[in-house]
Amino acid sequence: MRRGWRAAFVTAIAAMLPATLVLTLPREASAQSGTPPTASAAEIPAGISDGVVKLGLILDLSGPYSATTGNGSATAARMAVADFGGKVLGAPIEIVVADGKASSNHAGRIARDWFTDQHVDALMDVTGSSEALLVQAIANTQHKIVILNSAVASRLSNEACTPTSIHYSFDTEAIANTVGAALIKRGYKTWFFITVDYSFGYDLEHNTEAVVEADGGEILDGAVHPLGAADFVSYLSRARQSGAKVIALANAGADLDNTLQQATKLGMIPGPQIFAGLAMRITGIHALGLATTQGMVIGAPFYWDTDEATRAWSKRFFALTNQMPNSPQAGVYSATLHYLQAVARAGTDDTDAVLHAMHEAPVDDFFAHGGYIRADGVMVHDMGLYQVKAPAESHYPWDYLKPLATVPGEEAFGTLAESKCPLVNR
């Protein structure tokens, strides 16, 4: 499907796209009106396969994580393509987006079709850790690049790592080292976990437990709930009765929202126990409101109101989506640009050449300063520890977080020597 729409118009309507497979072909950010001429084979560099660089995103467009990723992540990718100029090495850049429907099998079918029949060169994100585990394995057999921004289970870049995958924004280990260690240092030494029953939740809980116990804390108890649960009252009652100083929420999306809403109704927010939203994003804070999320501690690699660079990009994103970006969405933009820059440096979209260029170049933009991709595929960068403001502390729209600390990259992500990735040379 090729039309000569300008990239600005394409990104402006991204939020209205249906939750089905869509194909969008961004052009140069400053493209002129009219239909651009189609490049002939002679005009496409020999290093570009099929005459086009095609990037895909398998996102949650209709399920529990749609507000966290969804059309916001698709818009971020399109912004990166437009900012890059719509072409690389003279070849057009295309973006394809599909709804993973919170299903590993469905996401796997999309990935196989894209890699085998649709000539997709690389994926910029896959929502859901279970989905990402399958998709990155498929990508490895097809020798295709997968960059992960919203799937954060640490096993993706540990036991399940592949030579063609990159864990870009953050992982459960980074969250654990940012939030767990910081709260223990502040005297919050007893913990209760409420955990969603799949790989993401277990990795988040286990990584955080390890940090808490290593730093002298104690896990008093915990509860596990199914994905998409409706009633969290019994779990919260157990957490309150435990007397734990920290109630750690190892869930996300609609599950996390429901947990906090019900905690507020039970009078636990605000309250003597502090909630650690291990997977809370600013989009979730906005949807729930400060009255429901106040006092919560979170870890994130990106906050829109950090400095002039983050504010400038975020205001552009807001103009297209009517919301400020969260960390996975900002990560998609950064990762897409990093990939395209690597293609330009390599002079080809060949997987090995592009991976080499991505690993060789630092990541230095509004998302990360001095970031780098290790042999295990982890992009190491600083993490931030934040606390959600009380309503009276917020002075303008989306003024939700107060910074508590910056955690250096190697402290947050651990060292390469600690990696369980079999690709790492010991």
- pLDDT, tens only, 319-373: 999 999 999 999 999 999 999 999 999 999 999 999 999 999 999 999 999 999 9
SS3 93: strand
Q: Do domains 7-170+310-380 and 173-300+383-418 have the same CATH topology?
A: yes
Which CATH class name applies to 173-300+383-418?
alpha beta
Mean pLDDT of the chain: 90
Q: What is the pLDDT of residue 64?
A: 82
CATH number attached to the domain at 7-170+310-380: 3.40.50.2300
pTM, two decimal places: 0.86
Q: Is the pLDDT of residue 101 over 60?
A: yes
> pLDDT exceeding 90 applies to what percent of the chain?
82
pLDDT at 199: 83
Locate the DSSP E strands across 20-120: 22-24, 53-59, 87-88, 91-99
Q: In the chain, what are the domain boundaries?
A: 7-170+310-380, 173-300+383-418
* Residues 29, 86 contacting (CB under 8 angstroms): yes
Higher-confidence residue: 47 or 399? 399
**C-alpha–C-alpha distance, residues 165 and 112, integer Å:** 16
Strands 53-59, 91-99: pairing kind: parallel
Tell me the CA distances in angstroms from 279 to 7, 101, 187, 220, one per residue in order.
Answer: 32, 20, 22, 21
